[in-house]
Structure 1
């Protein structure tokens, strides 16, 4: 009898689970859950605006709490972590999956580069244009020094048509093209950055409105109002009208709600269309331990096909140029 009593008394002890491990599972799942609740409905405000840019990294990390909870057989933490992982990965994974079709019209190669207040290497930019036969070059933080250096290196021979606004510091903008430009101009955002624009005449294609985009950066709480205003002021796509292309440093990723709303007007992110939407274009900055994020984009009218996107180094700048190979519809 004593042996039997001992076995009965010890059996429940063997099945007892450690509350500490259960709390650990919940503790690890909680950040991802909060992140998803902010990212999905676009509730980022204040410092969260900067944090949301790193959603792809959080999506990858979200698998860790799921694996731990499953291994420890904690059902509800596992269910919660699984929903969070599926939600965040589902939000970012499409950017790594190609989903674009060529239109069969004239090709157009568009490149964009932030010159970091003129510190970006002009020779690298000209080499990119020459090697890849770039048709449209959008530059941000374009200075008089950069303009002079590009002219000296022969950019005018490669891209003779231009709309330029060279300014000392970070506010300048430029648009160089192989094809004639009309209806050109310069727009200054609320945050101070300017945007060069014009209408491109490509043989065999309808006119294309092209603009070098550069909204304010959300680098401090004081700049957030201008960041919001600048992104909201970006020209919407005109899916039932003329073609539009916005190329530049948007200072936002596809995880920011305000940029997603702009895409919703009828744009396609070229990099995401060909499965390159998770390739970082900015960072680290000044040696800071900041993982790269994707804030430089080529947004194209959804009637424009995308056949390829590549990201290139640019010595002297903290940004990497983006080159998009497009196919315009026939006129």
Structure 2
């Protein structure tokens, strides 16, 4: 009985953080990213405890796990979209893993998926040169690039002319932004890459809080990149509560993992495309990028 009590107590602590919307420190933030996994664990613990007739322990564990299932399961199902009839825009975001991603494979993904706007994270000066040689900027000639050696660089490349903006402001990580006009509709794009919560949970929360909210009276906005956050983090859900729609969640692909590309640690969904509530998400895919520890995320959207 003590064994089941200890397991259940640990599960209940994690569940309380998720249910109460507390990301906590770098350790708890990392554990919250694994919510779908330990939700299944809670069901298993409760079911086995009930099998051994530990009624109270098993009953509490199962009840709390069911409450969590009710919160996470909807992301596996497509939801409604606004009635949008404007131009089509194809957006992709790719974390380049310290500039190690296969540039030829990335260019092929851009060409095959007819990408209009590409956000690049962990963009280095060396990789900019390699992307130039590989022909990326023949496909997407307009760019706002902030390459830096290591993990802090980012950039935006576009098929259409870009006007550089400063929607996020200075920070440890480059998060450039730009305006593009598609079919007469102005769209503001941000390449998102906050500090990871495992490095500094306070900076991570601050970086996410600095991201621009939807502007109902202005240009439609799209935030795409490596948010270092899942749908279970309260700091990320604040963006959704502000009005953004997660493209993967909207199309029923909210569980599709984006990091790591291997099997350990357990894969989670930390790369996202968030769209203005006036935008309709027509399609969403997670794409393999050889050489990177992240998968790319791609969304085809219809503008208002």
Shorter-chain TM-score range? over 0.9
Secondary structure of 1:194 counterpart: coil
Counterpart Cα distance in 2 of 1:31 and 1:89: 17
Say if 2:297 is the partner of 1:313: no
Counterpart Cα distance in 2 of 1:266 and 1:164: 28
| 1:264 pairs with one of 241, 258, 262 | 241
| 2:181 pairs with one of 201, 206, 213 | 201
Deviation, 1:184, is 3.6
Superposition pairs for residues 137-216 of structure 1, below 5 Å?
A: 137-185=118-166, 189-190=170-171, 192-204=172-184, 206-216=185-195
Partner of 2:35: 55
C-alpha change, 1:78 and 1:240, in structure 2 (3 Å) is: farther
Structural RMSD (CA): 1.9
| 1:130 pairs with one of 111, 126, 130 | 111
Partner of 2:232: 255
Secondary structure of 1:125 counterpart: helix
Secondary structure of 2:188 counterpart: strand
CA contact (8 A) 1:186 1:194 kept: no
Deviation, 1:236, is 1.2
Counterpart Cα distance in 2 of 1:108 and 1:100: 19
Counterpart Cα distance in 1 of 2:236 and 2:169: 19
What TM-score do the two structures reach when normalised by structure 2?
Answer: 0.93
Partner of 1:17: none
Secondary structure of 2:175 counterpart: strand
Counterpart Cα distance in 1 of 2:104 and 2:39: 38
Deviation, 1:197, is 1.1
Counterpart Cα distance in 2 of 1:189 and 1:30: 42
What TM-score do the two structures reach when normalised by structure 1?
Answer: 0.86
Secondary structure of 2:259 counterpart: coil
Say if 2:266 is the partner of 1:291: yes
Counterpart Cα distance in 1 of 2:7 and 2:144: 52
Counterpart Cα distance in 2 of 1:81 and 1:230: 35
Secondary structure of 1:195 counterpart: coil
Secondary structure of 2:176 counterpart: strand
Secondary structure of 1:314 counterpart: coil
Secondary structure of 2:163 counterpart: strand
Secondary structure of 1:253 counterpart: coil
Say if 2:51 is the partner of 1:71: yes
Partner of 1:243: 220
Partner of 1:27: 6
Q: Could you say which structure has the larger radius of gyration? A: 1
Partner of 2:62: 82
Count of residues paired in the alignment: 302
| 2:203 pairs with one of 197, 201, 226 | 226
> Structure 2 unaligned runs (5+)?
none
CA contact (8 A) 1:284 1:290 kept: no
Deviation, 1:189, is 4.5
